[in-house]
Amino acid sequence: MFRVLITDPLSKLGIEQLLDATDVKVVQKTDLSKEELLTEIADADALIVRSQTQVTAELIQHAKKLKVIGRAGVGVDNIDIPAATAQGIIVVNAPDGNTISTAEHTFAMLISLARNIPQGYRSIVRGEWNRKAYVGVELNNKTLGILGLGRIGTELAKRARAFHMNVMAFDPYLTEDRAKKIGVQKASLDHVIAASDFITVHTPLTKETRHLIDAKAFSQMKNGVRILNCARGGIIDENALFDAIQSGKVAGAALDVFETEPPGEHPLFTLPQVIATPHLGASTREAQENVAIDVSQEILHILRDEPFKNAVNLPSIPAELQEKLRPYQILAERLGSFSIQSAEGALEEITITFSGELAEMDTAPLSRIILKGTLSHYLSDVNYVSAPYLAKERGIKVTEQKTSQSHGFTHLIHVGIRTDQGEFIVSGTLLNGLGTRIVKIDQYPVDVQPEGHLLLIHHYDRPGAIGRVGTILGDHGVNIATMQVGRKNIGGRAIMMLHVDKQVSETLLESLEALDEIHRVTAIDL
């Protein structure tokens, strides 16, 4: 009999499957003191919390039988993930439970924005009857641009199509086949920004998406565009949005999230074109029940040794295998991250090949790490366990191969990326005393340490090309730490791989790409 301890309030409907299970005993005790919690956790097989219970390292140490911790929601800030992982305890959350709720809230904000509903309400309760002041626009035949076509973006697209909107979408993992199935037009980020009447963001907040919509993006938009953010504060530059509304470029904005929450007396609230809600995307009874249902189901799967998908930490593997694979974990994740940053286009297929001594090991954990490194460049909620599920959900084919051919190395990992614009391959290894190394990029042999700020430059092997690159970097105050040059034929195509001391600007990249010898420049941060 498995003992499941629930220490935060959850709806009875949400945990019904646990209560009905014949192999589970549910113990619900909320508002426990620290001492009471330490006592209760001692013989629990599973723990379910929301945000109130702090699952500390001390608490985990007292959990002698604990196999899994479930968070009925998305955020896991109140759980000590490293401590749980060290004890071999799986931590799961419920990232899908609020999908419909957030999509519906976004659509409600979309209609309210188009028809000035909040402004009209405020006017009429003041005793006014000013119909001409609140003339709106129809959604019919308007273009909705969705930035990020994950679960929520997909649901929003379905609702927009029902209102006869033209839906365009940008997502780095969106393929043509998936776009057709959803019924949207796949487009580049710049094209979506330039062609849309309404723009809504549904990406995670990462280094790449912070201020994704900035002053430059606003300048490329249609006059009278309307902006929505029910995803994460910080994706839209709020100061730039303020300026764009005041200038008339943006006709209105609907915001559920903010860079700082609560936002306080925000300048945007002084503008009548702005409507806002206090982060209500997931605030429905159904969403709160759904996250409890989802995490309860995951708990049962784990306790019964059945497949599960929403773990946020690396599952326990045998100590002997873990010891053998540990030196390769950093290399694996960085090869995944390097490959996706280097490739162009929407990701369609990943091929992972293990060579030499690695071919004789169980490399499944390394494949998950590579996949996580690849997907996490654009997805903040990806982890070692959910990565295969998220890849499958997005139609990305993943293949693992093994070969005894080591190409002169004791062990070698190849990561091949195929996108809708071409293929890219990177190979890496561990060198005794020197650590991780990238030893081949496409057909070019190199010796690159995969860390820090890198520039990958595809160019033509002509005299003076390297000098001109160095001059431009110097003019922009960027110091070169190391440089590798790879080529196959004199005068043909070649690559430069540079380590630089700081992150480079878009202006610098544009200056490099303006050189006649340069084919493409990619900034990579590891």
Question: Which residues are known to be catalytic?
Answer: 232, 261, 279
Residues 6+ apart with CB under 8 A from 81: 91, 312, 313
Please report, in angstroms and rounded to a whole number, the separation of the first and last CA atoms in the chain: 46
> What are the CA-CA distances from residue 423 to residues 215, 335, 400, 416, 427 (Å)?
33, 15, 17, 7, 14
The Cα 72–Cα 476 span in angstroms is: 48
SS3 (DSSP) at 254: strand
Token representation of residue 424: 């890219």
Half-sphere exposure of 415 (CA within 13 A, CB side): 28
Over its C-alpha atoms, the chain yields an Rg (Å, rounded) of 26
Question: 10 Å Cβ neighbour count for 488?
Answer: 12
The DSSP secondary-structure symbol of 202 reads -
For the stretch 23-45, what's the b/e string if a residue is b when 16 or more beta carbons lie within 10 angstroms of its beta carbon? ebebebeeebeeeebbebbeebb
The Cα 332–Cα 526 span in angstroms is: 12
Alpha-helical (H) ranges within 199-284 are 215-220, 238-247
Q: Is the peptide bond before 262 cis (omega within 30 degrees of 0)?
A: yes
Half-sphere exposure of 435 (CA within 13 A, CB side): 7
The Cα 524–Cα 526 span in angstroms is: 7
Are 351 and 387 within 8 A, CB to CB? no
